[in-house]
């Protein structure tokens, strides 16, 4: 367990227009850990995730997944290990039916069709959407779309599950189902979100980003209950914590 799976060393990233989005980020994530990344809008969360999955290449510094260093050559291999769930499920689900969409990744891995079928069914079973298998993505609800989007990534059997705002646009019940689903995964997880309650429920470790830097990194309960720190970063105490003052729990 002590062996780390993801390491960032002094990572910098600038967009072509000159915006410096990441300014020297370093951290390690270990096997089986689930890490939340919180931060205000525009603090660089999405850019960081895109760098982890090799969609953007760092302008300076290093990203390594397991033993592999992220370079232009290894980015395909990295993407196979890092399962990235995008913020909007409509971007993630691009095939005409749920089945084909979930099958897209395994097919690209070159698996034979029985194996593909097995993976599709397992992944959909895992997120409780096996009944949607033949439906077109434009005819299922938002909550079902996000669940299927996670299935599409799970079918790739990634080493790390990386999610960008997984619960935005979800109604409370779908959100709760998603949280339970995520808690059930034994994977290494990285979740970027404004939803601090979700992070508190799902992650044991939490980082806070501000202007492209990590300003806090520690156990989720410690970081997310630090009112002064949260206030500085356009964040608020998680709602569950606010209620506990009224001895709600």
Partner 1 sequence: MSFDREYFNVGYLDSLSYRDTFVHKLDPRVKVLVSFIFILFVVSFPKYDLSGLMPYFIYPVFLLTAGDIPVKAIAKKVLYISPFAIFIGIFNPLLDTEVVLTLSGLPVTGGWISFLSIIVKFILTVSTALLLIAVTSFPGICEALARMKLPKVFVIQLLFLYRYLFVLLEEALRMLRARDARSSGKQGKDIKTFIRLISVLLLRTIERAERIYQAMLSRGFRGEIRVLNRHKLGIQDILFVIFSVGMFYIFRNFNIVGFLGETVSRSIR
User: Interface with partner 1 by CB under 8 A: which range of 4-12, 82-90, 193-201, 230-238?
Assistant: 82-90
CA dist., res. 159 & res. 185, Å (int):
12
Among 10, 15, 26, 108, binds partner 1 (CB under 8 A): 108
Q: Which of residues 109 and 130 has its CB atom nearest to partner 1 in the complex?
A: 109
CA dist., res. 68 & res. 133, Å (int):
35
Q: Is 245 in the site for partner 1 (CB under 8 A)?
A: no
**Which x/- pattern over 46-75 shows residues binding partner 1 (rule: CB under 8 A)?**
----x--x-x--------------------
Among 38, 99, 189, 208, binds partner 1 (CB under 8 A): 99
- DSSP E strands in 46-187: the ranges are 60-65, 68-69, 82-85, 160-164
Interaction residues for partner 1, span 143-162 (CB under 8 A): 152-153, 156
Rg (CA), the chain: 18
Pairing type for strands 205-210 and 34-39 reads parallel
Q: For the chain, what's the residue count? A: 249
Query: How many CB atoms are located within 10 Å of the residue 231 CB?
Result: 11
Q: Which of residues 76 and 249 has its CB atom nearest to partner 1 in the complex?
A: 76
Q: Is 218 in the site for partner 1 (CB under 8 A)?
A: no
């Amino acid at each position: 367990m002590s062996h780390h799976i993801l390491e960032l060393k002094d990572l910098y990233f600038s967009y072509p227009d000159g915006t410096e989005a990441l300014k020297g980020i370093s951290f390690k994530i270990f096997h089986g850990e689930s890490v939340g990344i919180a931060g205000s809008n525009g603090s660089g969360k999405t850019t960081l995730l895109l760098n982890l999955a090799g969609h953007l290449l760092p302008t300076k510094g290093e990203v390594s997944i397991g033993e592999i260093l992220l370079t232009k050559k290894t980015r395909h291999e990295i993407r196979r290990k890092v399962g990235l769930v995008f913020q909007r499920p409509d971007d993630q689900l691009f095939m005409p039916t749920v089945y084909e969409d979930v099958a897209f990744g395994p097919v690209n891995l070159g698996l034979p069709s029985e194996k593909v079928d097995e993976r599709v069914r397992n992944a959909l079973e895992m997120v409780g959407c096996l009944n949607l298998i033949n439906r077109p993505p434009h005819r299922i609800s938002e909550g079902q779309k996000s669940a299927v989007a996670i299935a599409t990534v799970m079918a790739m059997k990634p080493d790390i599950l990386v999610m960008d705002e997984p619960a935005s646009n979800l109604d409370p019940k779908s959100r709760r189902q998603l949280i339970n689903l995520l808690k059930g995964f034994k994977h290494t997880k990285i979740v970027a979100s404004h939803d601090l309650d979700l992070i508190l429920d799902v992650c044991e470790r939490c980082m806070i980003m501000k202007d492209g830097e990590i300003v806090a990194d520690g156990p989720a309960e410690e970081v997310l209950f630090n009112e002064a720190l949260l206030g500085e970063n356009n964040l608020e105490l998680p709602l569950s914590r606010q209620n506990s003052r009224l001895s709600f729990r």
